[in-house]
Structure formats: structure tokens, C-alpha cells
Structure 1
Amino acid sequence: MQKQAFQALLDKYLSGNCSAEERATLEMWYLTYEAKDLPPLSPAQLEEIRQSAAPHIQRTARRSWLRWAAAAAVLVAVAIGAYMYQANHDRGITVEQLAAGQDVAPGERRAFLTLANGRRIDLNEQQGGIAVDSLGVSYLDGTPVAGAAGTAETSALITMSTPKGGGYRVTLPDGTRVWLNAASSLRYPSRFAADHREVELTGEAFFEVQKVLNTANERIPFLVKTAHQTVRVLGTQFNVTAYTEETTEATTVVEGVVEVTATDAGKPARIIPGEQALVQDNNVSKHTANLEQVTAWKNGNFFFDNEPLETVMRKISTWYDVTVVFEDAIAGEKFYGIIAREKKLSQVLKMLEKTKTVQFMIKGNTIHIYKR
């Protein structure tokens, strides 16, 4: 409808001189115009509006324009309500609706092994972890891992990987225990060399390194290699975070002493309990660490201590195997809180929404984040 024609029809409408057909035309155009930026209605919804308008269209022209204005207002409310319902449906469901429906369960004990010959073995989700020794690979209760026979006969490389929403534990041939977080992998030999022990990590893991002596009664070093650093250990407990999507890798010492060297830099940084080495852009820096926060995932918790929303959502995405989309620019927001990782997704998101800074909408396997 052209602007001039619309104005002329509107003048007739307000003066009460419109025919029933003209009134209907104006009202339906108005409804469409008001909702032009919202998702389109379905044919069934449009028909419902037309049927709602029909009784009003059949009224005589002798009714005052005020009554027609009131009818138009009712129709506008109905239409906008229908449009908003459709818009919210397309946008997703709220955290409350998620909690009341098919909520997202937390991660589980899930992992798989990739043997040197490329064979993949899915590990038992009812077990807590595996152990590698001179007899091969078995679960922690002593049950052999099916398909892994013969791996101890040669020094073959084995990779244990966890998917998003997974986690597992492995005891290495030297007795070192490793807890592997979600979306991580650990590559290790079925037998360690006589003069050194070396593993490769992507993602996050907590290590309890067993002290091992050689024939000269000297400690055999333990090396953890990631994309951007090498961690050298003699016997200690420490956490390494080295996700490929993160720009910074972190090594935090709980017990003992480690040396951290950036891959292309020669001088190592020596860190002691309570300290953390950060590797970024081939530089190593030392900082005081919150050990409770760093090891919270191993102990079954999320611990957010002044963490940026991007980091918080990366952890949630990894543990619940969901995708995260930032619909609004939310810079500088920091979050505090502790919540068990055994909670369902809606419970974690509710805690974040209590800050009154963000709002979540969930559509399928994706969390959409809006600024409140």
C-alpha cells in the first residue's frame, strides 16, 4: 500500500467513513506492518486472525470509529502475541523450560583407546579407569580391556581420548596416575624407556607422578609435552591445561616442583606448590594459583573465581557437550561460584542467570547467550 493511499484510508477510518471492506483492509495491513520485523506467521495462524476479524468486518458503517479502533487494538494484541510466541519458539526455550523438559545431563565416564595399529576400543562407562602394566591393559578392578591384548609386548604408543561430556582415568606403566578431563587426549607408550618417561597431552589432565629411580639410584624424569610447552617433573602432583582452542596453556603445581619450558624457548621456569606457569606467545610467566579452583574439575566441581564468561562457557560447553553462541557482545563480565559437575545443565545456567547480567535461550544442542 502506497503512503498516500494509506494516509487517505486512515483519515476515512478515523472519521468513521470507511466501508467494512476498507476497515478490514486497513486493520489487516496494520497488523502486518506492526510485525514486519518478526518471524512470519504460519498459514494456520493467519487464518485464525482472519476469522477473529470477520465478525468485526460484518458490522455496519454506522458504528463509531472508536469501536473499530478498539477492535483493531484487540487484533493487534492477538497478532503481536502470536508473532512473539513464534519468535520465542524460533529463538529457543528458557532455562526454566529446559529444567521442566528434557534437561541436558552432565558428563559421564566416557573414553576410548586408539592402539598403535589404529584400532579403536570404546572403554566401559561403568568403570572408573584403566591401568597399563606388563600384562597389558585392564580396568581398575582387574578386568582385561577387550581388544587390547598384546599391547605390552612391545613399546607401542597408545592414545586415550575423552569426548565432550566425558572423562576417564589411567594408571601408566610406571604407576603414575592421570585424570583426563573432557575433550582431551593423552598419548603414552605401553612401556617407558629406561632413562626417561614421556607423554603427550591435548586438553586438560591432572597428574600424580610416581617417583622412579634408575640403576644408579637417580630419579628418572617425567615429561609432559603439549603444543606449546614441555613440563619436566621428578615426582609431584600438578595440573596441565592445554586445549587447542585456548591461546594460553597453564601448568599448576599442587605438590613438588616442575620446570616449564615454552616449545621454542630455551630457559625453563621453575614453579613450586601454589604457583602456576602460563605459556602464551612462546613466553612463560609465573603467577600465584588458586589450587582449589584449578583442581575443582578433578574433584567433581565447577569453580569460577573471577573468570570471564567466555572461559566459563567453554568449560560448560566441554562438559555438557553443547555448542555456545554469543548473540550479544558481553565483554568484561566476570563470574564467581562453585557448583557440582553432576548437576544438570539447567541448574548451572540458573546460577549464572542469577547474576542478572546474562540470559540463556536453548535451541536443540545450542545455548544462545544474550545480555540482560
Structure 2
Amino acid sequence: MQKDPGKLLEKYKAGNCTEKEKAIVESWYLELVSKGNAPAAADIEISKKEVWASLAEGKTDPKKNTVWRWAIAAAILFLIGAAGLFSLKEEGTTTLTKHTLKNNDVAPGSNKAFLTLADGTKISLTDAENGEIARQQGLSIQKTANGQLVYTVDDKAAGKNSKVAFNTIETPKGGQYQINLPDGTRVWLNAASSLRYPTKFSSNTRSVTLQGEGYFEVAKISDSKARRIPFIVKTANQEVEVLGTHFNINSYDDENEVKTTLLEGSVRVSLVGNIKNGPSKLLKPGEQSQLGNQAIQVKTVDTETVMAWKNGDFVFKGEDLKSIMKKVARWYDVEVVYQGDFDHLKFAGYLSRSKNISSVLGIMESTGKVHFSVEGRKVTVLK
């Protein structure tokens, strides 16, 4: 990995950085913006010559040199614009107005969810004490201190009731949660999502229903004849069959496509109801299926960007503004309205999801291409 800042910025400008190097360069700028050190778009051209002079002098410690911090910020903002990640060519740019955002700030989401038991009992996992919160169908349901719901078999009660019962865990806007299913499968739910699952899986298949977005690490389970028991994830329009693998499904109602991204193993994606006989696609690691208009397309994607939410980050790489704001709305539990046409505005950036909403919006404002007004939980997007 390139460590010299001058050469690293040159690589970034030429588009030759590795994903890790890109993250380093862009995180430099994002860190400066979060501290109020980033220059306005109008300062970029003036600062450009000073930037490269500073790089040549070897001023490489941004913590000890204020001039270097401004130089790096101007260089990165210039390079991002040159690379087409932030569009800075149009006239009428505006300056960053972080004071307005911070005065009307919104905290990020956290571990929040509701569990609905088979008998209709609804438990707020946010308010429940850590430890065992329920017993049913030969299972003990426990909440852990780090935001997980864990099912474990209660040997003493197991087998007393063979009736199939279903539980549902759902996250609100501004919430996320992890659940360990009775078979050992682990599922991470993003904001505004739900998972319906049986408290006990059958001996020949395992099936759950997802709404919203979830990341799955499926446990490998075999039957008495040493045959793998398949695991099926159903959404409104598709079914995904796996044997034991890691994958992500994005199936929000307000998205145009259902996206299934494979990280490890293999999965078969089919239209709902056609998992056995209908048209389907078999994915390889690094591939994503996109289901829209009853057709499945497959392409190779950047899995780091797809999985950023699960890893606690926002990662945008040439993503359009409205797509970004859908993610912002879910995670910060805000309403987003638009005043103007923003269909062709795209951004790139890297930021922790633990930051307040002002940090995310401030990054986009710093390009001079968009402005945000925050009133309570309503965000207005302005030219």
C-alpha cells in the first residue's frame, strides 16, 4: 500500500488506488470536514498550487500542521471533483453551512427492535433487561448486552410440543439488531426491516421471510442421512436457497429492485414460487442479482459498499443523491422532501454511521451542489 501522501494523491487522481487506499484518501477529507477544517469549493483552485508545494515539502503530519490540514483538504476535494465523484463543475456553488445543521441535529440509529412471539406477545428489545426474556416451544430466548437475540434449546422442555410456531423480529427506522436463530444461523437486520421465522425448523427444510434488508450467515445443518438441509429466504418477489453461506438481501418496498449479494458459498435466486422449477440464477462470491420487472440480472459488485451498513459505515461510490437519502432516512428516522431536481447528482464518500446526521449532510453540502434544512425530523433538500 502506498504510504507517501503525495504519491498516494497522485494515484487517487489517476484512478489507480486500491480500495483501501481510496478509503484512506477520502477519510482524510471526511475527518477534516467533521472538524470544520474543510475549504469551500470556491477555495479549491486557489489552494491547488499550495497543496502540491506542501506535499513536496513532506509535511505529512496533519495533526501537527494546520497548513497541511487545509492543503490536504483542498487537494482531496479537488481530486474527488476531478475523478467525477463529487460534481463541482456547475456554477452557483454554495459554502458549507454546518452551524445550521448542528443546531438542528439528529442522533444516529442504534440497537432497537421488537420481538413478537407466537402467542401475540410483543416485547421491546430496547427496553427489556439483558438475560432470558421468554421461554417457548422448548427454547430459551435471551437478550445479550451487545444487542443480540439468541435462541438456545432447552433440553428439559424440548419435544413436549411439536406444533410449529412463528416469531417475528422487526427493527424500526433508526434501529438495527442481530439474531441467532434456533439452528445457529446468524442474521443482522438493518433499519426498518423484519424477519419471520419458526421457533423450530423442520427436518428437511428451513424457511424464513424477510422484509427490508438483512445479512445472513447460514449454519450448515445435515439430516440423518448426512444430506445438507437447505435454508430458504423468502421476500415479496423472490426466494433464495442456500446450503450454508454468507449473503445480503436488500428488499425494501421503496427500492426499484431486490438485490441479493453473495459474499461466500453459493446461492440460487428464483422468482417467488418458482424455486424448484422456474427460471433462476446461481450466484458466485462477489456477484449480485437484481430482480426487477420479473427478471433477474446478475453483475459483479463491490461487496464492501454493499456491506457497509452491517460494518457500521456509510460508503457511497458514485451513488445518486436520492438513493443516499433513502439510507439516511431509514437510519436517522427522518422524513426527506425535495425542492428542485436532483436526479443526476451523485456523490462518493465514507463515514461512520455513528455520526450525527449533520456530519453526513455536511459532507455533501461541502461540494457546493446541494443544501439541507433540518427541522425536527424533517430534512429538506435544496439547490
> Are the structure 2 counterparts of residues 131 and 217 from structure 1 closer, same or farther at C-alpha, using a change threshold of 3 Å?
farther
Question: Structure 1, residues 99-151: CA drift from partner, whole Å, max 9, x if none?
Answer: 1x352110010000112222211004686999999432112369999xxx999
CA distance in 2, matches of 1:164, 1:290: 25
Q: 2:197 aligns with which of 171, 188, 203?
A: 188
CA distance in 1, matches of 2:149, 2:259: 34
By how many angstroms is 1:95 displaced? 4.3
Question: Structure 1, residues 171-230: CA drift from partner, whole Å, max 9, x if none?
Answer: 001100000000000000000011000000000000000000001100000000001110
CA distance in 2, matches of 1:130, 1:98: 40
- How do 1:1-372 residues align onto structure 2 when only pairs under 5 Å count? 95-99=98-102, 101-124=103-126, 134-140=138-144, 153=161, 154-263=163-272, 266-371=278-383
CA distance in 2, matches of 1:238, 1:259: 11
Say if 2:149 and 2:179, in contact at 8 Å, map to a contact too: no
Say if 1:131 and 1:171, in contact at 8 Å, map to a contact too: no
One-letter identity of the residue aligned with 2:141: V
**Any runs of at least 4 consecutive aligned residues in structure 1 with deviations exceeding 3 A, and if so which?**
124-134, 140-145, 149-154
CA distance in 2, matches of 1:109, 1:157: 22
CA distance in 2, matches of 1:349, 1:198: 39
Say if 1:277 and 1:285, in contact at 8 Å, map to a contact too: yes
Structure 1: 5+ residue stretches without partners? 1-93
Normalization by structure 2: what TM-score? Answer: 0.67
**Secondary structure of residue in 1 paired with 2:99:** helix
One-letter identity of the residue aligned with 1:321: D
One-letter identity of the residue aligned with 1:273: P
> Are the structure 2 counterparts of residues 214 and 108 from structure 1 closer, same or farther at C-alpha, using a change threshold of 3 Å?
same
Say if 1:184 and 1:204, in contact at 8 Å, map to a contact too: yes
> Are the structure 2 counterparts of residues 162 and 130 from structure 1 closer, same or farther at C-alpha, using a change threshold of 3 Å?
farther
> Are the structure 2 counterparts of residues 131 and 279 from structure 1 closer, same or farther at C-alpha, using a change threshold of 3 Å?
farther
Say if 2:149 and 2:180, in contact at 8 Å, map to a contact too: no
CA distance in 2, matches of 1:210, 1:119: 28
Normalization by structure 1: what TM-score? Answer: 0.69
**Secondary structure of residue in 1 paired with 2:367:** coil
What is the aligned residue count?
Answer: 274
Question: Structure 1, residues 210-257: CA drift from partner, whole Å, max 9, x if none?
Answer: 000001100000000001110000100000000011120000000000
CA distance in 1, matches of 2:295, 2:165: 33
**Secondary structure of residue in 2 paired with 1:96:** helix
By how many angstroms is 1:305 displaced? 1.3
Say if 2:167 and 2:198, in contact at 8 Å, map to a contact too: yes
Structure with bigger gyration radius? 1
**Secondary structure of residue in 1 paired with 2:204:** coil
Question: Structure 1, residues 321-350: CA drift from partner, whole Å, max 9, x if none?
Answer: 000001111111111111000000101100
By how many angstroms is 1:98 displaced? 3.0
One-letter identity of the residue aligned with 1:97: T
One-letter identity of the residue aligned with 1:226: T
